[in-house]
Every structure is written in C-alpha cells, then in structure tokens.
Amino acid sequence: MTRNSARKTANLLHERQYYAYGCRFIVGLDEAGRGAWAGPVAAGAVCLPIDRQDLSKLMRGVNDSKQLTALQRQHLVETIKTHALAWGIGSASNTEIDAHGIVPATMMAMERALNDALARNPDFQPDTLFIDAMLLPALRQYDQVSIIGGDARSLTIAAASILAKVWRDDLMSQLDADYPGYGFAVHKGYGVPQHQVALGMAGPSPIHRLTFRPVRATIADGDDA
C-alpha cells in the first residue's frame, strides 16, 4: 500500500447529491466476511452528519476497509463512532448462512445492523439507505440506493465497511482461542493455504460454513476415507 493510497478518503458526491434532494439522514450499509469459509457475515450501519462542511476532514482516511491496514481501521472506528449521528453492527451466523445462503444471510446482517443503530438511538429515523451493490426488500419502507463499489465511492458506506470489518476481525481473533489450530486470528476465516491445510488435518469446526465448497469438499474427503 502506498502512502498516498493510505491517506485517500472516500468522497461525498452521492451523499451531497441526495442531501440536495432533501435526504437528511442517509445510512450507509456494508458487509464484511461474505467470502470467508468460517464465522459470521457482519454488517455495519452508519449515518454521518452530511451537513457538516468539515466532514471529509473529520473522516480523513475513511475508505474501503480492504484498502486499509488493521491499525488504520482500529483508529478510524473510534473516529466514525465519535462523529456519526447513528451507528450499528449486525451479523448472521455460519449456521444461518448454511440454512439460508450467503446473500439472504448478508441481507439479514444488514437489517440487524440498521436495527442496532435504531436501538442505540431511539429518536433517530433514517430517510435513505446507501447499500453496497445490494437492495433490501425487507426494508422497503426506506428509500434505497444501491451503489456498485460503494465502499470506495461513498464515505457513508466506507464508514460502515470499517465498522463491520473491525467487529468481525475482533470476533474471529477471539474465536481462535476456542478453536485453535485453524489460524482464525491470522486469516479471519478466509480461504488461505494455511486454512486449507488445517481443514484437511482437523476437519471443519462448529463455526465453519458447511455449505461452502472448500469446506464441503473436506467433509466429502473425510467420508471417503
């Protein structure tokens, strides 16, 4: 990662446009862990004070969570929570992913993230949802905007992506103590060679997604053996 890319901040072009249309409380929603082999899929919900002229300065460095280091994300989480009008986190477990599929489970996590934000702020009422490459039929009472690549193109979605990523990474590090040997603290449940080797040796843990092909293949190999 270059020094310039580390300082890049997602823009407010979409937020300013919708603010001009009368949307005052825009909630960004994004997920983390969708492609992992183990653990939950997480989602963040963030509403920023779009009317603040210094918002980009306050949120300096907030960008797609995948473009940031773990240390940068940890620092930015506190900045986001301090200045956000509302924020929340939700998740869907590996068993829910197996039961419903990853896309419905991701939607569930986003709905729970929004509900968490509303529970933390009972007087808060969003008027628009900005969602990274997705729409949420269960939340049709809100106007929704699906933005492809939203975590890099919308500051609000980028902030949500950081909350989700940090929460999930912290959880996977904690779960590493419960399920040692898989390397969850290192790879957070994603499909790296270390994880593949551990799966082959120990088989899936209770937090693995059994319907995901690499995990399912390990089970099939075990049955054959």
In this prediction the pTM is: 0.94
Domains (ranges, CATH) in the chain?
A: 3-178 (3.30.420.10)
184-203: burial string, b at 16+ Cβ within 10 Å, e else: beebbbbbeeebeebbeeee
- pLDDT 10s digits, 36-67: 999 999 999 999 999 999 999 999 999 999 99
Let me know how many helices (H) and strands (E) the chain has, helices first. Answer: 11, 5
Cα→Cα distances 42→2, 127, 138, 161, 203, Å: 28, 23, 17, 9, 24
DSSP 208: B
- pLDDT 10s digits, 160-203: 999 999 999 999 999 999 999 999 999 999 999 999 999 999 99
Nearest partner of 84 among 190, 170, 153, 162, judged by Cα = 162
